[in-house]
């Protein structure tokens, strides 16, 4: 038998495999099931019936899971006898209420967006929602994505989106630059977009030489 | 000298084209970005670019010793800081 | 040493688990308390076993409330009738229920405990005595073989009523064991059932047949001690339960 020692491949740095579950509380499991299982037709894939045995006083609860594609799951907790806190007429959702004058942009800043492959699939989910108690509230198309939006029975905003073209490597690199600039600017005084864009330009200039080495197709000073 | 950067992706094609069409501007490449430089204020007419909202307002990737003095439904104006 | 709380989830007609497990563990010298939850079941038929399994969640919630250190899901045929390897699923689901609620109760099943006992005895060829009807007995044999053991021989006593199983005399069990072909057998399971009493037979059978002998109950007690990290030193109940006993210096 030959000496067949295979070189051990180093473990990749990035090993997580997506969303095991994103969990939220609900006070209306019936409507939640109607929305996700019956309207959107997301399969119910798991449930746990449990009580609160840890150090904190804790009602009996059901933890249930819907498949949202790619083996990722959206999960809910329903606590028996637990009542929502805060002003229920205030903006927000089952998890939290916000001040009455909270602007839309901020309310919308937290949401889940699920991906579909193409226009047909997007329209199919649009149809399912429009025929339900939770019709599509908005449809938006940019150059790069097209999305539909609604709120689930718990007030959680749900977006369903399709990409109009795949993300390019230039965008990954641009994103890294934005993040680096953002961290620099946000930890300083009076962060602003102006400061961020200025910082980003500095980083572009600083890193240009390295890009030239890594990717000779990106020629410097090639006048257009 | 005002100078700004635009990421070279399909959606930004209109901005880059309008910038390049103006003989007062020098447009060259730095890595994956296009760099637009001029001696005086750079003005890009939005309608000429054909850009829609979201793309228009996120077109500028970096500002070098410059400041945006106008960025609305009509135009983008970049001047020396 | 504080009292160790042992949770037992048993078929409602089962009286043997709550008799034999406490008797065994009382011989260790450690303090134990026992807390049961019951699943309604009268006949050991596939239909009743399925109905019984459906009550498991309620029982786990009840046991969780006791803050038990360990829970033994004391069903053997109920698990084995659900398909190969099902004890792992059952143990996982119970552990998940308890864990999701912040409980640190450790989870065992009698089916899993029996397999652990056989493994720790390094047994490969085993023989079984069971009270079941033939079709259920066959399921049990298949289940154990699917776990990598060879079932060399077995006897099934054809008793379907679970209350009757609790009354099967020891002499009947021993007679069945004597009819087994024990050639090359590494371990004898004198009662492959949590309801058929056998505690008084285990040591005697081991001596008579010269083969390590265990029962679902002794395996259950063994697994409880192992899971809790307690010494396994219970006299008079077969060699599996003496694994940590001090060896006398001759």
pLDDT tens digits, B45-65? 999 999 888 889 999 999 999
* Band (B33; pLDDT cuts 50, 70, 90): very high
pTM listed for this prediction: 0.82
Partners of C92 in the β-ladder: none
How large is the average pLDDT for residues C48-68?
89
Lowest mean pLDDT among A203-207, C50-54, C101-105, C129-133: C50-54
> Going from the N-terminus, what domains does chain B have, and what CATH number goes with each?
3-80 (3.90.56.10)
Hey, what are C74's tokens? 């004391």
Rg (alpha carbons) of chain A, rounded to whole number: 23
- Helix residue ranges, H only, chain A: 29-33, 104-107, 119-130, 169-186, 193-214
Instruction: Please give the structure tokens belonging to residue B62.
Output: 């970096």
CATH fold, domain A108-166, is 3.30.720
pLDDT digits (tens, 9 = 90+) for C113-137: 999 999 999 999 999 999 999 999 9
According to DSSP, the β-strands at C125-130 and C150-156 are parallel
DSSP state of C69: S
Partner-chain residue, chosen from B8, B33, B81, that has the shortest CB–CB distance to A204: B33
Is the confidence at residue A224, as pLDDT, over 50? no
Confidence of residue C75 (pLDDT cuts 50, 70, 90): confident
Q: Is the pLDDT of residue C217 over 70?
A: yes
Going by C-alpha positions, the residue among C73, C62, C74, C131 that lies closest to residue C101 is C62
Q: How many CB atoms lie within 10 A of CB C175?
A: 13
| Interchain CB distance below 8 Å, A170 and B28 | no
Tens of pLDDT, residue by residue over C230-246, are 999 999 999 999 999 87
C175 contacts: CB under 8 Å, gap ≥ 6: none
Interface mutation target, options C65, C93, C101, C104, chain A, most CBs of A under 10 Å? C101
C108 touches chain A (CB under 8 A): no
What is the residue-wise DSSP string for C148-203?
T-EEEEEEE----BHHHHTT--HHHHHHHHHTS--TT-SEEEEE-SSSS--HHHHH
Q: Per residue in C77-96, pLDDT tens?
A: 888 988 999 999 999 999 99
> Which of C224, C244, C210 lies closest to C72, judged by CA?
C224
For residues C216 and C194, what is the distance between their CA atoms, to the nearest angstrom? Answer: 6
Instruction: With beta carbons under 8 A apart, name residues in chain C contacting A52.
Output: 101-102
Largest CA distance in chain B: 29
pLDDT of residue A220: 44
C6, C25 Cβ separation under 8 angstroms: yes
Eight-state DSSP code of residue A19: -
Q: What is the mean pLDDT of residues B59-73?
A: 95
Greatest alpha-carbon pair distance for chain C in Å reads: 56
Give the closest of B11, B54, B61 to A200, CB-based. B61
B20 touches chain A (CB under 8 A): yes
CB within 8 Å: C61 and A54? no
> Cβ A143–B54 below 8 Å, yes or no?
yes
CA distance C182 to C177: 9
Residues of chain A neighbouring B10 (CB-CB closer than 8 A): 143, 165
Q: How confident is the model at residue C2 (pLDDT cuts 50, 70, 90)?
A: confident
A96-149 confidence digits (pLDDT tens) = 999 999 999 999 999 999 999 999 999 999 999 999 999 999 999 877 789 999
Alpha carbon distance A38, C200 (integer Å): 57
Asked if B4 is an interface residue toward chain A (Cβ–Cβ < 8 A), one would say yes
pLDDT at C249 over 70: no
- Interface size A-B, in CB pairs within 8 Å, comes to 96
Contact C128, C141 (CB under 8 A): yes
Four-residue CA torsion sign, C81, C84, C88, C90: negative
The domain A16-86 is classified under which CATH number: 3.10.180.10, 3.30.70.20, 2.40.50.140, 3.40.1390.20? 3.10.180.10
- 3-state helix, strand, coil split of chain C in percent (to 5) is 45, 20, 35
With beta carbons under 8 A apart, name residues in chain A contacting C89: none
| Contacts of the segment B43-47: beta carbons below 8 A, 24+ positions apart | B43/B75, B43/B76, B43/B77, B44/B15, B44/B18, B44/B19, B44/B75, B44/B76, B44/B77, B45/B18, B45/B74, B45/B75, B46/B72, B46/B73, B46/B74, B46/B75, B46/B76, B47/B74
Collect all residues with Cβ–Cβ distance below 8 Å to C130 and sequence separation of at least 6.
Answer: C137, C140, C154, C155, C156, C157, C191, C192, C193, C196
Give, in degrees to the nearest 5, the angle at Cα A30 between A25 and A31: 80
On whether the CB atoms of residues C155 and C180 are closer than 8 A, the answer is: yes
- Give the tokens for residue A171: 């965008």
Domain map of chain A by residue range?
16-86, 108-166, 169-214
Is it the case that chain B and chain A have 3 or more CB pairs lying under 8 Å apart?
yes
Which chain A residue has the Cα nearest residue C103?
A53
- List the domains of chain C with CATH numbers: 4-111+218-242 (3.40.50.12500), 113-215 (3.40.50.12500)
Handedness of CA C197, C202, C208, C210 (dihedral sign): positive
Task: For residue B31, give the nearest of A143, A218, A223 by CB distance.
Answer: A218
Contact A204 B62 (CB under 8 A): yes
3-state secondary structure A107-157: HCCCCEEEECCCHHHHHHHHHHHHCCCCCCCEEEECCCEEEEEEECCCCCE
User: Which helix (DSSP H) or strand (DSSP E) does residue B49 occupy?
Assistant: helix B46-49
CA of A62 vs chain C CAs: smallest distance (Å):
10
User: Between A50, A54, A55, which is nearest C97 by CB?
Assistant: A50
Q: What is the CA radius of gyration of chain B?
A: 11
- Which chains does chain A touch, 3 or more C-beta pairs < 8 A? B, C
Most confident residue range from A133-147, A160-174, C168-182: C168-182
**Alpha carbons A139 and A184: distance in angstroms, whole number:** 35
The residue-averaged pLDDT of B4-17 equals 95
Nearest-by-CA chain C residue for A59: C101
The answer to whether residues C32 and C6 touch, using CB atoms and an 8 Å cutoff, is yes
């Amino acid at each position: 038998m030959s000496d067949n020692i295979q070189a051990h491949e180093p473990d990749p740095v990035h090993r997580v495999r997506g969303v095991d579950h994103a969990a939220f509380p609900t006070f209306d499991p019936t409507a939640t099931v109607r929305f996700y299982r019956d309207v959107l037709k997301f399969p119910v894939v798991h449930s746990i019936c449990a009580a609160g045995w840890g150090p904190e006083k804790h009602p009996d609860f059901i933890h249930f899971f819907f498949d949202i594609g790619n083996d990722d799951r959206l999960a809910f907790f329903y606590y028996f006898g637990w009542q929502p806190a805060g002003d229920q007429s205030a903006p927000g959702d089952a998890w939290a209420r916000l001040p009455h004058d909270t602007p839309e942009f901020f309310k919308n800043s937290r949401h889940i967006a699920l991906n579909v492959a193409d226009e047909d699939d997007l329209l199919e989910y649009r149809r399912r929602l429009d025929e339900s108690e939770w019709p599509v509230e908005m449809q938006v198309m940019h150059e790069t994505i097209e999305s539909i939006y609604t709120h689930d029975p718990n007030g959680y905003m749900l977006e369903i989106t399709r990409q109009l073209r795949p993300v390019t490597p230039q965008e990954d690199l641009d994103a890294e630059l934005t993040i680096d600039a953002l961290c620099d600017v946000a930890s300083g005084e009076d962060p602003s977009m102006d400061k961020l864009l200025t910082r980003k330009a500095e980083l572009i200039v600083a890193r240009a030489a390295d890009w030239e080495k890594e990717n000779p197709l990106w020629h410097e000073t090639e006048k257009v | 000298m005002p100078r700004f950067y635009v990421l070279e992706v399909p959606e930004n094609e209109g901005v880059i084209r309008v910038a390049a069409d103006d003989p007062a501007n020098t447009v060259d490449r730095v890595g994956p970005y296009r760099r637009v430089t001029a001696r005086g204020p750079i003005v890009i007419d939005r309608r000429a670019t054909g850009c829609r909202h979201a793309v228009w307002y996120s077109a500028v990737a970096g500002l070098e010793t410059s400041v945006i003095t106008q960025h609305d439904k009509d135009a983008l104006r970049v001047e020396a800081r | 040493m504080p009292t160790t709380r042992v949770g037992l989830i048993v078929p409602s007609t089962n009286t043997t688990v709550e008799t034999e497990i406490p008797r065994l563990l009382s011989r260790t010298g450690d303090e134990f308390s026992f807390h049961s939850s019951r699943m309604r079941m009268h006949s050991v038929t596939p239909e009743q076993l399925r109905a019984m399994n459906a009550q498991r969640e309620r029982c786990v919630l009840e046991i969780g409330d006791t803050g038990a250190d360990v829970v033994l899901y004391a069903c053997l045929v109920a698990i084995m009738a659900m398909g190969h390897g099902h004890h792992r699923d059952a143990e996982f689901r119970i552990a998940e229920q308890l864990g999701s609620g912040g409980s640190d109760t450790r989870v065992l099943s009698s089916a899993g405990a029996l397999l652990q006992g056989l493994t720790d005895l390094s047994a490969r060829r085993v023989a079984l005595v069971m009270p079941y009807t033939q079709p259920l007995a066959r399921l049990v044999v298949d289940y154990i073989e699917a776990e990598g053991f060879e079932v060399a021989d077995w006897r099934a006593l054809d008793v379907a009523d679970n209350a009757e199983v609790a009354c099967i005399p020891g002499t009947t069990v021993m007679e069945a064991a004597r009819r087994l072909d024990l050639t090359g057998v590494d371990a004898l399971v004198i009662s492959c059932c949590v309801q058929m009493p056998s505690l008084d037979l285990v040591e005697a059978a081991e001596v008579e047949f010269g083969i390590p002998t265990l029962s679902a109950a002794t395996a259950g007690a063994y697994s409880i001690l192992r899971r809790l990290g307690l010494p396994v030193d219970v006299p008079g109940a077969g060699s599996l339960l003496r694994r940590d006993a001090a060896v006398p210096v001759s």
